[in-house]
Amino acid sequence: MNDTVKPTRITTVPRYGDQPADKLYLPAIYAGIKVTLGHFVRNVLDITAMETLEYPEEQPTDITSRYRGLHRLTHREDGSIRCVACFMCATACPAQCINIIATERTDGIDEKMPEIFAIDTLECVFCGMCVEACPCDAIRMDTGIFSVTGKTREDFVLQRDRLLSHTGAFETEQTRNKEASHD
Amino acid sequence: MIEILETSLFALLALGVLTGGLMILLARRPATHAMGFFIALLSVAGLFALLHQSFLFFAQVLVSVGGVVIVTLIMILTVNLREADLPPEPHQTRWLIGAAVIIAPLSLLLYQTLTTLGDAFPPVSDTFGGTRSLGTLLFHDGVLPFEILSVLLLTAMVGAIIIGKKEQSYDRES
Amino acid sequence: MTTAQILVTLGSIVLAALLALLMIPVLVWLERRVCGLIQDRPGPNRTNVFGFRLGGVVQSFADVVKLVTKEEYIPDHIRYGRWIFLLAPMITFASALLAFMVIPFADTVQVDGAALRIQGLPVSYGILWYLAIGSVGILGMVFGGWLSHNKYSLLGALRAAAQMISYELALGLGIISMILTYDTIDFNAMVQWQSGTFWGFIPAWGLFIQPFAAVIIIIALFVETNRAPFSVAEGESEIVAGFFTEYTAMKFAMYFMGEYVAMNTASAVIVTMFLGGYQLPWFSTAALLEHFRTVAGVLLLLVPVVMTLFILWMRRNNRVRLTLSTDGGRGRETRILTGVLIGTTLLIEAILLWLLLEPAGSIGASVAVPLLQIVIFVVKLMLVNLFIILIRWTLPRFRYDQVQVLGWRYLLPAALANLFVTSIIVAGVGS
């Protein structure tokens, strides 16, 4: 039986290029020149109306609290380090850029703390997996710092004390997983 | 002063022609061949310019250098012969020496012909060599050879196109 | 040759060389700045010399310094033909520069009884020279690409060569029809021919007399200079730079500069053949010389107006947004430049006033008219350069087979048809 099922949704793709005006191409050139010349004249007449940011005098305007900037290690209320060197962030990191060496904690709050906590920002892809993996809300990426400079490769490996010294850039911080902080 | 300048310029250009020719003959790589071709043709154009033949200078540069040399380069690059594809040429030095020995008396004959050839043509005026004078001469006295040459070129072009055309398959619209 | 004649000849040679060479940084700057402004971004504007940015022109000079001081090396895989590899950019650069030398910048000047041309090479066969020498530049590209011992370079070079010889035919035929119309091969005579009017009020520019040939020749000139949208040679394998790939530092700089000089020369040819050259639209040189006092008077009024507008525009635009903390010295630059421009305007006004008050037909007019013509030529040249740069950033690049189809199947028959029609009309009108 010749039962041809007609498809119910036929999308016709419009094909261009067969008209004489298309083949001549000069009308298309004219239309293109109108656009570019319009942009050019508009920008020449007032160059400060451009959306381009004059970095470094103008800093980016779209850094929000969700922006994944440089990492920071958080403190507890008494000032000690919150991280317990559980290695979950190092395991979760897809670029394997976190190096932790744990040591015994001396202030009796927990058992372990990181003696060496090094993040290689040259390897880091700023994905935020470490922040999601941490059970203690010890590492965050809300510093809002987007520019890291250095003269040698070693300058880009951030150690624990520098990470502790970074501060969060946003006032409305909610501490995640407060029950995990063993307070 | 002008004489010294002209003579030295002529010597330089003749040296260019000879160098170019020798490079074409004796070079081992095709790039050096092509460069020799370019130098030789450019020097010939310079010799035309030295004789105040401006139209021939332009024709030489435009057609020979700007057309023939480039097409030759494209041809060399497309065909892309390697040393291994060429047939072996043993005893090359003997061939060269034998050819030089045979050609030497012929070149004497050629030299004799060329030096006496000048008497066969009437001297031209001082302003000859520009486009207008050459064009007038060509279209008054030399119309028939000119048209036959153009038919010859047309035949060559049509032949080249037919040889170069690929076979059209019948289910493809041309 | 009297002193004045020697001075004028030397002056035209110096002018031609300066115009060709000094245009290179200006064109590089123009390209980058226009490209930026079209794309809604400012373009280079930070490189400065003691605070003077001059809109970013200093960036081009910084580029030159960088290219000169870069490490020169020839890749090791280029084993033979190194001298040809080094010679190739020089061929392109030399031929581009030489081709510029026959463009007239002003009308012939009567100095001590002899009529001197204001060209780099005072010859009467300008268009043939341009065609001939302009076609030598391609050889540099082919040799360079070939000797680079690199597949991509070779492809780029081959495509460039094939594209150029395809369009040389159309260019040659178009130029022949223009030669038929103007009845001369002399650029200066071509410009003089365009000094009349036709149909009453339209200036007899080549663009209006032969629009068809103008389109054909302009397209063919785009191809000859390897400019977008026909930039298959240099941008084709876009990641590797076509036949430029193995060239570093000064050798690359020669190719780069050669390309901009070729573009400048093509603009000059377009201006000379189609836009009336160095002339004002409705005035011929004789008319200018005769009515020079009127012209000086008009300029006396016009120059301050233009300068005021420019200074106002500069004050408005040579600054950063007012919310910023520093302006990088732009304010100081604007003030100094305003002073310089006002001083220049006063100087020009003084000269024009002196010319106005002098009796007619004196030496002042015969010196000032060529200068005015040179200025008009440079203005028109910059406009055409701007047009070419605009086209580059408007149109996408053609595919190589599209380029060849356009050259052989559309442009060549169009040029032939134009030649037929032109010769019929010229023969009909001339008899």
Q: pLDDT tens-digit profile of A116-170?
A: 999 999 999 999 999 999 998 899 998 888 888 899 999 999 999 998 888 887 7
- A132 and A47, same structural domain? no
Put simply, the answer to whether C135 touches B66 (Cβ < 8 Å) is yes
ipTM of the modeled complex: 0.85
> For residue A148, is it within any domain?
yes
| 3-state class (DSSP) for residue C283 | coil
Cα–Cα distances (Å) from B77 to B71, B74, B81, B165, C88, in that order, read 10, 5, 8, 19, 17
Q: Locate the chain B residue with the closest alpha carbon to C169.
A: B67
- A78 and A126, same structural domain? yes
User: What's the topology of domain B1-83?
Assistant: Four Helix Bundle (Hemerythrin (Met), subunit A) (1.20.120)
| Cut 0.95: pTM above it | no
Whole-number pLDDT of residue C149:
81
Name which residue leads in pLDDT, C332 or C173.
C173
Asked whether the CA dihedral C345, C347, C353, C358 is positive or negative, the reply is negative
Residue C421 has pLDDT above 90, yes or no: yes
Q: First vs last Cα of chain C: how many Å apart?
A: 42
- A88 and A165, same structural domain? yes
Contacts of B42 in chain C (CB under 8 A): 136
| Chains in touch with C (≥3 Cβ pairs < 8 A) | A, B
Domain tally for chain A? Answer: 2
Put simply, the answer to whether C161 touches B70 (Cβ < 8 Å) is yes
Cα–Cα distances (Å) from A51 to C40, C41, C314, C321, in that order, read 7, 8, 20, 11
Put simply, the answer to whether A39 touches C40 (Cβ < 8 Å) is yes
Put simply, the answer to whether C316 touches A46 (Cβ < 8 Å) is yes
Size of interface A-C (CB pairs under 8 A): 57
What's the pLDDT tens digit per position in A71-104? 999 988 888 889 999 999 999 999 999 999 999 9
Q: Tell me, yes or no, if C390 comes closer than 8 A to chain A by beta carbon.
A: yes
CATH number at residue A114: 3.30.70.3270
Could you tell me which of A142, A149, A137, A114 has the C-alpha nearest to residue A126? A142
Virtual CA dihedral for C28, C33, C38, C41, nearest 10 degrees?
A: 140
Whole-number pLDDT of residue A173:
52
Distance from CA of C37 to the nearest CA of A (A): 5
What's the pLDDT tens digit per position in C201-239? 788 888 888 899 999 999 999 998 888 788 877 765 565
Angstrom distance (rounded) from CA A92 to CA A98: 10
Asked if C205 contacts C197 with a C-beta cutoff of 8 angstroms, the reply is no
Domain that includes residue A167, residue range:
72-181
> For residue A7, is it within any domain?
no
In chain B, what percentage of residues exceed pLDDT 90? Answer: 29
Asked if C173 contacts C229 with a C-beta cutoff of 8 angstroms, the reply is no
- A164 and A102, same structural domain? yes
Contacts of residues C35-38 at CB distance under 8 Å and 24 or more positions apart, as own/partner, are: C35/C389, C35/C392, C35/C393, C37/A39, C37/A40, C37/A43, C37/A44, C37/A47, C38/A36, C38/A39, C38/A40, C38/A43, C38/C390, C38/C393, C38/C394
Regions in chain B scoring below 50 on pLDDT? 174
What residues does each domain of chain C span? 3-282+362-430
State the Rg of chain B over Cα: 21
- A84 and A39, same structural domain? no
Angstrom distance (rounded) from CA C106 to CA C8: 12
